[in-house]
Amino acid sequence: DENRRPVRESERKTVGRRKMYTNKLRQVVSKKKRRYQANGFDLDLTYITDNVIAMGYPSEKLEGMYRNPMNEVQRFLGELHGSNFKVYNLCSERRYDHKKFNGRVCEYPFDDHNPCPLSMITTFCEDVHAWLEANTENVAVIHCKAGKD
């Protein structure tokens, strides 16, 4: 874009430092949990199998500084899985607009650090199974509020 001013070196360094500090903060919050640190990403996320991902809640604003930033989760899924992902939100305490993941979100809410209702297990498993069976490239992305506990 010709109307854009060039980014100054000092601004570039400030953005780089900010990213370094927020990544360090996310690592502290994650404690000793495994993080996905590849392809330019640093997320509270891990592959359970080739097509099942467990991750922390995709957050925005201030919370995105110490949890998974929504925009980075969107970028990760788009770059690595295209349209072959479906997000399963298990968090009863909060929701986000399903449009953030192109409508590919299912909710099976229950309170964090509590077992889900037994009646929900079969429905959830059938949903994930149907999604994964529909296409060998499909990936189920499952999260709660706190992360991959």
What are the residue numbers of the active site? 144
What type of residue sits at position 15? Answer: V
Separation of CA 111 from chain center? 18
**57 backbone φψ class: left, alpha, beta (φ>0; ψ -120 to 50):** beta
Distance between start and end Cα atoms, the chain = 44
d(CA 145, CA 57) in angstroms, rounded, equals 5
